[in-house]
Structures are given as structure tokens and as C-alpha cells.
Amino acid sequence: MPPRSLHDCPAPAKLNLFLHVNGRRDDGYHLLQTVFQLVDHGDTLHFDVRDDGQVRRTTDLPGVPAEHDLVVRALRLLQAEFARRHGRPAPGLDVAIDKRLPMGGGLGGGSSDAATALMAANHLWQAGLNRDELMALGLPLGADIPFFIFGQNAFAEGVGERLQPVDTADCWYVVIEPGVAVPTAAIFCARDLTRDTKPVRIADFSRHLMSQQDQLGFGKNDLQAVATQLFPPVAEAVEWLGSYGHARMTGSGSCVFSAFADEAGATAVLAVVPGKWVAWKAKSLVRHPMHGRLQVDGVIE
């Protein structure tokens, strides 16, 4: 019998170590190259199976009605797929979300919540999707969802759905939340966005890392120039953190981060971050923590 509950399920944040915009698809979506890095700071979700088929979010998320929540929408998609495969309605689920990640922060919070929910429900409902099938199910809801289900640091291409595992350095990050929510669409549709960065190869990134041990010395974030122009608090955070080494925005912003070889380096900088900003340190992860938890039963792979 599968369990009826899964509590304390992590939904970690991601950082985009670099993010290049290489072009645009016919449908207007931008072609990217990026390295996604998982870190040990994020939201926490709790799941309890319901027998009446309802999916309910039991916690409030200001500004996001339950029906719009990526978690609820992802679970509805999984319910439909369950019914198609098994010829009977799917069970339901109560979901509680302890939200720590800021919205519009470029940390992938909503996508990570949805990915954790898909992995948990696939297990609790015994839906039987494999990892690739779960990734494909999540993609239409958000380009970052497949990465979180993939569950390891990755070089991504396309709109973020073509993933290859990549080794990154073990390190500590300091992340500053500049206190603004950046809408991804506003960055991608900006006139000044450069969309013609020359494609790189995964080997270029790996070779750089081996010779320099410097996570942020490679590439750039092409979305950063536009985001700092439109959102001055992001520019201020980049400038402040940049005085301690490479500082870069993650995703479409607003959060800004820097990498440190050891925890002491991160702690020292965190201690002097101006009080007007929320800031935290996080360690790099090699695997998504849900994978270790669910693989006990061989469910994810």
C-alpha cells in the first residue's frame, strides 16, 4: 500500500549560473542556454490524500488564488493523465505550502512547488508516470518545471526543456532579495534585450570550471541589463554584492547572488548585507532531495 501522506517535502530554489538568450522561436518564446543549479533553500510542501477526488490548497498565498496556483494546475493535469491511464478518476490531495521563496525572484519557486507536487502525487496516487513523462506533463505550465523533476544540475537549451546533467563546483551562495517582483514577460518583451548571444557548448562551461573553480566567471545573464534598467533595486543589489566578487542576477530577476568556496566566506558577507534587504546563504546541491526520498520505492526513475 502506498502511504497516504508525505510531509516536509522540499521544493528547492534554482540559480541560473549564466543565462544566454540565443534567439527567438516563431511563437515568440526565446531560445536560451543556461546552467541550472539547485541550492538547499526553498519552500516546503505537505501532502495528504483525499478520497473525494478534490485537489485543495490548504494554505493562503497572497496574490495567488488556489485555482491559479501552479501546484493546483499541475495536479489537475496529473489527475487527467491518471484517469486516461487507469480508466477511473484519480484520488484527490490536500496540499499545504510553507512559502519561503519570493515570487518573481528568479528562483523558480512556483515551478519548484509544482515539480515537488507532481513527484509526490505520482507516488501517493501510484499514477505510474516515469521521470520523462512527468517532465513533459509539467512543461506547458512553466519552462523550469522539467528541470526540477530532472533533479540534478543541468545545462539547458531550447526554452529550458532540453537538459543534460552537468557537474558544478560544491560551494556556498549568498542570495539577496532586492524586494521587488520582476514579471518574466516584461523582461523578455523589452526592446533593448539582446537576443543574439553566440551559442556555447557544455564543454566550454565544464572546461572553464575545471581551470578556474569560478562558478560565475563563465558567461553572463543576458536578462540582467534590462532588469537592472527597469528595476533600480536590482541594480543596487548587483552593485553592492559585486564589491565582494562576481555578482549576478538569477533568471529574470529579481534576486542577485554570489558564490563562495566555503561557508565562512558566505557567512562573512551575509553578516554585512544592508538591513533593508532579505538575504540568506545556501549550499549547492547535487541532487533534488525528493529524488533520494522517493527512490527508496523506485518511483521516480
Ligand X SMILES: C[C@@](CO)(OP(=O)(O)O)[C@H](O)COP(=O)(O)OP(=O)(O)OC[C@H]1O[C@@H](n2ccc(N)nc2=O)[C@H](O)[C@@H]1O
Ligand Y SMILES: Nc1ncnc2c1ncn2[C@@H]1O[C@H](COP(=O)(O)OP(=O)(O)O)[C@@H](O)[C@H]1O
Contacting positions for ligand X (CB under 6 A)? 16, 28-30, 32, 106, 108, 111, 142-144, 159-160, 184-185, 188, 251-252
91 in a known ligand binding site:
no
Kindly tell me which of 105 and 151 has the beta carbon lying closer to ligand Y: 105
What lies within 8 Å, CB to CB, of 247 at 6+ separation is: 216, 237, 238, 240, 241, 256, 257, 258
Query: Rounded to an integer, what distance in angstroms lies between the CA atom of residue 120 and that of residue 123?
Result: 5
Query: Rounded to an integer, what distance in angstroms lies between the CA atom of residue 132 and that of residue 162?
Result: 11
Other CB atoms within 10 Å distance of the CB of residue 252: 22
Kindly tell me which of 90 and 143 has the beta carbon lying closer to ligand X: 143
Out of 43, 69, 144, 222, which one is annotated catalytic? 144
Amino acid occupying residue 185 = A
Q: Is 103 in the site for ligand Y (CB under 6 A)?
A: yes
In angstroms, what CA-CA distances link 273 with 75, 125, 174, 240? 39, 45, 10, 9
**Is-catalytic flag, 14?**
yes
Cell triple for residue 80? 487527467
Q: Is 108 in the site for ligand Y (CB under 6 A)?
A: yes
In angstroms, what CA-CA distances link 68 with 71, 77, 101, 212? 9, 13, 17, 43
Residue 29 binds which entry of ligand X, ligand Y, none, CB below 5-8 Å type-dependent: ligand X
Q: Is 233 in the site for ligand Y (CB under 6 A)?
A: no
Q: Is 118 in the site for ligand Y (CB under 6 A)?
A: no
Smallest distance from ligand Y to CB 7, Å: 17
Kindly tell me which of 150 and 188 has the beta carbon lying closer to ligand X: 188
**Is-catalytic flag, 276?**
no
Site for ligand Y in 61-80 (CB under 6 A): 64, 68-71
Q: Cis peptide before 5, with omega less than 30 degrees from 0?
A: no
158 in a known ligand binding site:
no
Smallest distance from ligand X to CB 28, Å: 6
Q: What are the binding residues for ATP?
A: 102-112
